[in-house]
Structure 1
Amino acid sequence: MAAAVCRSRVSQTGPVLGIVSRTCHTTTLKTRYDALVIGGGHNGLVAAAYLQKGGINTAVLERRHVLGGAAVSEEIIPGFHFSRASYLLSLLRPHIYRDLELKKHGLKVYMRDPHAFTPMLEEGVGGRPPRSLLLGSDLEKNMQEIGKFSEKDAKAFPAFLTHLEKLACAIHPLLDSPPVDIPGITQGPLRSRLAALKTLRPLVKSGLSLGKNIPDFYELITAPILKILNRWFESEPLRATLATDAVIGAMTSPSNPGSGYVLLHHIMGELEKEKGAWGYVEGGMGGVSKAIANSACASGAAIFTEKEVGQVLIGKDGRAEGVVLKDGTEVRSKIVLSNATAYTTFTKLAPESSLPPEFVKAVSQIDYTSPVTKINVAVDRLPNFLAAPNAPDGKPGPHHQCSIHLNCESVDVLEAAYREGKQGRPSSRPMLEMCIPSVLDPTLAPPGCHVVSIFTQFTPYWLEGGRAWAEEDRQNFANSAFHWIEQYAPGFKSSIVGKDILTPPDLERIFGLTGGNIFQGAMTLDQLYLARPLPSVSDYRSPIKGLYLCGSGCHPGGGVMGASGWNAALTALADIRRS
């Protein structure tokens, strides 16, 4: 019956629809504001909210018909509402959550527990299902699960979590502040240099928090994560499951230096005061963006969709003084904040004549390599995993609410997938992170039906020989991903009623993510902190006075965190008050 309902819903509803967040973006666009924000992604909205709260009359100009950037909800298959790009919440900074009163403005989160499920591809023993690894907040249950593969690892796991938590907590002061002001400390009159020393406080605070763990922290952020995991654990399913967080969204492997930092970045969040927790946003990730937009609007900000910026206007004095839209409309302002990538901002929006050639060259060399293809799928029934068969009553099991890690039985499988991607071939056995948010959030799909998010790696931007993706390539890769899911959950392919395939070029075209990189720039050691996105613009200020960067291409980086927008807004406010 559910299958019939789902399929009839798809066939009757007609064309693909988009969900537009109904906020104050319907107000009339004026010709002048104090501040303009290019792009209605979550960081741009956070920046607008704080600027407006600071007394700066602010407008947000979003290119698409829907707010949120990559943190967006769309009804891409009639009757099914998807977090089309970003799909989980954890990293949003707690002070932003509180300051902007996001719960009051409509944000509702479904906590996941357990949170990770890794089924095995193996023959069951004695008629039992294949083994699986299920991890959540219950430490005793985690140890029992790990003990199925290694008693030694089960005993080591609590100490490993404590160790990681110490390192993750120490980084928090760095997230909520701009990087150290090196030019301010080393140049200019003594008085201003002494004043700039205060930018060292977050770094000192982090160092004091780490204490004797500084060497461990240094090793984790610079080492291959496999080196760390091999020291702690011996069982392949546990190492591979943990290693996925060290490579997700990054064109890297567990054996590459720097993959340890990617792991740290993904575990340093909290949700509902629970450290390291991840959850689903009601209505999809656009619910986060909508709540931030509602908060900004409540303070008086104006937010507009379908207003594509063509160029930043530069005055005779070399300062940014507004923008011109693609339709020719000019909107003036005292400052402009760009939520776009550094590449888009400085090679497409800023006039070439306004920037030094050496700076433009440096911008062109920023690494935007992406390994990600996101596949959104509508299904008419729950996947039925061999390792955890569905209940007779059809109700979801605990594992259905998790991040389901497929093709993650061993690190060797991840390494092989990475090597294929680096050679320009979509991985023939891709790493798959599968989520079914409709298990907890009934607003996303018709009764009995579900939305499935499949985050896949490794797929290159350009295929072998420098060839662009064709529709046949996209369908072939999706079918390959579905084939592998079928191995773990027979019947999955026949449950599909619609799909949306987003390769790296698609992520770039639709969401403005240069190279398809979900972090607005690779989270490699040469593109973090003082060097994000470049050393000369790590303080959110651009070479053009009055033009700021506020997207996740800035420090502290990617994820639905809001810290880049917060730091950029405070930097701009400080400059305005000094002028």
Structure 2
Amino acid sequence: MKDFYDVVIVGGGHNGLVAAGYLAGAGLSTLVLEQQGQTGGAAVSQQVFPGVDARLSRYSYLVSLLPDKIVADLGLSLELRSRSVASYTPVRRGGRDLGLLVDRPEGAATRASFATLTGSDTEYDAWSAFYGSVSELAAVVAPTLLEPLLPAAELRRRVNPALWEALVERPLGEVIEQRFADDTVRGVVATDSVIGTFAGLHDESLIQNRCFLYHLIGNGTGEWRVPVGGMGAVTDALATAARRAGASLVTNASVTSVQADGKRGSVTWLGGDGERSVDCSFVLANVAPATLAGLRGLGGVARPEGSQLKINLLLSRLPRLRSGDDPARAFAGTFHIDEDYSQLESAYLEAAGGSLPAVPPSEVYCHSLTDPSILSPSLIASGHHTLTVFGVHFPARLFASDNDAARNESVRRVLAGLESYLAEPLEPCIARDAEGNLCIEAKTPYDIEASVGMPGGHIFHGDLQWPWLDNSADAGRWGVETDVANLLICGSGARRGGAVSGIPGHNAAQAVLELHP
């Protein structure tokens, strides 16, 4: 290892690897330091259950915001596969068990499903018009994500003013209530605004609007795709690209200090051979801003608060549904549980008041229906499947006094919600590991912080920001700048961060290449 590098990247998650690929590819000596035993951060595939040959996408699990340009630029060997179904929502009304199905691409079956639920074509027509408008905004915003930040006024001129006002200037709840009448349809729309974000739909901060926008602008289409081989396949491809370009990747390196004065930088870490330091021209921080502040010895930086419960399961078979719909079709997309609009709002109010939601909204995703390669041949042959459950409105504060007890009760409530739509008990469908235990793993915000170092368990490293220049702060040219010229944020805490996108890594690399002599 050298004593000096052009760039040292703190954190070997996907954004750090993207930055390394670009910078090393441009001829800059680049060192990546990762505290875990492998690169990938939260975008990894792991064998979670003892003696069970299933590699689960343990923390993050779908890809939308990763631009095709980054995949092409870095020559990634990667397959992102479309799901056959966008979403399925089980509904119980008037003594009947129904299911609202949204196909991909939408067609006659989707329209018929809306009509069966609502009694007319009105809601589906409103749905089509609304998402048609959203796609117009996505088509404008997506191409700018890998460019220097544009002023909000410039982007506003490129879209319908009424659309901009509805999605950017007014609380999202207003437009949902204006456009849709059905509580379930409203909820399916609204859920994209609260994944990883703790907010009410009428929150004046508009954080829910920002979350909604990020969920729908990926590559201009907003489609969420399945990485073949699991999320680890994404970061493995990025690590391969970074090494191929000449970057040095060091694991089991726990960074303890970051220093930068605008011209020179220094990073210190603890590894297997003790404490080491290296000097550099630039430091890129692929850690949360709150973590970076600690590494710099700064105080006064608020810790973010995550707001989700993550449950991983392995099933011996998919359970039957009360609606009678084919579970292989219902679970092929995002399976919504108790996410009616009114249920989302009730759960938020309960959690904001300090109580676990009595009926917690959640979403279920079955990776193995789209990509069975994450399972061994014997598990595939016997009908096993993975399920990931993402519970919303579970802020870290609810787990502060007793994380274990609150986790157990939260899991019980979420799985009871799923079971209420099943035609059979869930437990007999859950596989058991080599020790005879049910294949269930749950992660609260505190568990996520302990596992992968995200402060407060916040999956976005903090509140998402508008992907353009606004009046909230001086965001710099690329949205990755800090108060020191040669210290840049290349992780999810950058403007235009969040999710598995690689965008902050790309943008930090471009900022370095503009500044490097």
C-alpha separation between the residues in 1 aligned to 2:478 and 2:355? 34
C-alpha separation between the residues in 1 aligned to 2:306 and 2:259? 31
Instruction: Tell me the C-alpha RMSD between the 2 structures.
Output: 2.5
C-alpha separation between the residues in 2 aligned to 1:565 and 1:314? 19
Q: Please list the CA deviations of residues 156-176 of structure 1 after superposition, one character each: whole Å capped at 9, or x if unmatched.
A: 232222111111222124422
| Aligned-residue offset at 1:549 | 0.9
**Which stretch shifts more, 40-49 or 322-331?**
322-331
In structure 2, give the amino acid aligned to 1:158.
Answer: S
Deviating above 6 A after TM superposition, structure 1's stretches of 4 or more consecutive aligned residues are 531-534
Other-structure match for 1:26: none
Q: Please list the CA deviations of residues 461-512 of structure 1 after superposition, one character each: whole Å capped at 9, or x if unmatched.
A: 1238xx4333222112111111111111232222223111110111112122
Aligned pairs, number: 496
Other-structure match for 1:138: 106
| Aligned-residue offset at 1:529 | 4.7
Other-structure match for 1:265: 214
Among candidates 466, 489, 494, match of residue 428 of structure 2: 494
C-alpha separation between the residues in 2 aligned to 1:441 and 1:289? 17
Other-structure match for 2:64: 90
Among candidates 347, 369, 390, match of residue 439 of structure 1: 369
| Aligned-residue offset at 1:399 | 1.9
Q: Please list the CA deviations of residues 381-404 of structure 1 after superposition, one character each: whole Å capped at 9, or x if unmatched.
A: 1132212444xxxxx632221110
Unaligned runs of 5+ in 1: 1-28, 181-199, 353-359, 391-395
Contact 1:81 1:284 in 2 (8 A): yes
C-alpha separation between the residues in 2 aligned to 1:69 and 1:178? 26
**1:342 aligned onto 2:289:** yes
> Tell me, what secondary structure is at the counterpart of 2:349?
helix
In structure 1, give the amino acid aligned to 2:372.
Answer: P
C-alpha separation between the residues in 2 aligned to 1:552 and 1:298? 24
C-alpha separation between the residues in 2 aligned to 1:386 and 1:379? 18
Q: Please list the CA deviations of residues 167-201 of structure 1 after superposition, one character each: whole Å capped at 9, or x if unmatched.
A: 12221244223435xxxxxxxxxxxxxxxxxxx6x
> Tell me, what secondary structure is at the counterpart of 1:231?
helix
**1:162 aligned onto 2:111:** no
Q: Please list the CA deviations of residues 32-89 of structure 1 after superposition, one character each: whole Å capped at 9, or x if unmatched.
A: 3221111111111111111111111112111112221121111111322111111111
**1:459 aligned onto 2:390:** no
Other-structure match for 2:384: 449
| Aligned-residue offset at 1:114 | 1.4
| Aligned-residue offset at 1:224 | 2.3
| Aligned-residue offset at 1:130 | 3.0
In structure 2, give the amino acid aligned to 1:319.
Answer: R
Other-structure match for 2:516: 576
Among candidates 385, 400, 403, match of residue 331 of structure 2: 400
Other-structure match for 1:479: 412
Q: What is the TM-score when the length of structure 2 is the normalising length?
A: 0.89
Q: Percent identity?
A: 29
| Aligned-residue offset at 1:138 | 2.2
Contact 1:170 1:207 in 2 (8 A): no
Contact 1:378 1:452 in 2 (8 A): yes
Among candidates 203, 206, 215, match of residue 155 of structure 2: 206
Other-structure match for 1:322: 267
Other-structure match for 2:445: 504
Query: Which entry has the higher C-alpha Rg, 1 or 2?
Result: 1
> Tell me, what secondary structure is at the counterpart of 1:510?
helix
Among candidates 305, 310, 332, match of residue 369 of structure 1: 305
Taking structure 1 as reference, are residues 82 and 459 closer, same or farther at Cα in structure 2, changes over 3 Å only?
same
C-alpha separation between the residues in 1 aligned to 2:257 and 2:477? 20
Among candidates 364, 377, 381, match of residue 317 of structure 2: 381
Taking structure 1 as reference, are residues 123 and 306 closer, same or farther at Cα in structure 2, changes over 3 Å only?
farther
Taking structure 1 as reference, are residues 397 and 572 closer, same or farther at Cα in structure 2, changes over 3 Å only?
same
C-alpha separation between the residues in 1 aligned to 2:506 and 2:482? 17
In structure 2, give the amino acid aligned to 1:224.
Answer: P
C-alpha separation between the residues in 1 aligned to 2:245 and 2:289? 28
Taking structure 1 as reference, are residues 314 and 411 closer, same or farther at Cα in structure 2, changes over 3 Å only?
closer
Matches within 5 A, 1:277-356: 277-314=223-260, 319-325=264-270, 327-347=274-294, 349-352=295-298
In structure 2, give the amino acid aligned to 1:491.
Answer: P
C-alpha separation between the residues in 1 aligned to 2:384 and 2:60? 21
In structure 2, give the amino acid aligned to 1:99.
Answer: D
Contact 1:521 1:533 in 2 (8 A): no
| Aligned-residue offset at 1:207 | 3.9
C-alpha separation between the residues in 2 aligned to 1:531 and 1:519? 21
Q: What is the TM-score when the length of structure 1 is the normalising length?
A: 0.80
C-alpha separation between the residues in 2 aligned to 1:553 and 1:533? 14
> Tell me, what secondary structure is at the counterpart of 1:456?
strand
Unaligned runs of 5+ in 2: 431-437
> Tell me, what secondary structure is at the counterpart of 1:67?
coil
> Tell me, what secondary structure is at the counterpart of 1:433?
strand
Other-structure match for 1:120: 91
> Tell me, what secondary structure is at the counterpart of 1:455?
strand
Contact 1:429 1:484 in 2 (8 A): yes
Contact 1:70 1:511 in 2 (8 A): yes
C-alpha separation between the residues in 2 aligned to 1:508 and 1:293? 23
In structure 1, give the amino acid aligned to 2:71.
Answer: Y
C-alpha separation between the residues in 2 aligned to 1:532 and 1:286? 35
C-alpha separation between the residues in 2 aligned to 1:530 and 1:280? 33
| Aligned-residue offset at 1:277 | 1.5
Q: Which has the higher helix share?
A: 1
Taking structure 1 as reference, are residues 328 and 145 closer, same or farther at Cα in structure 2, changes over 3 Å only?
same
Matches within 5 A, 1:28-177: 29-77=1-49, 78-102=52-76, 105=77, 107-122=78-93, 125=96, 129-148=97-116, 149=118, 150-177=120-147
Taking structure 1 as reference, are residues 55 and 533 closer, same or farther at Cα in structure 2, changes over 3 Å only?
farther
Contact 1:35 1:57 in 2 (8 A): yes
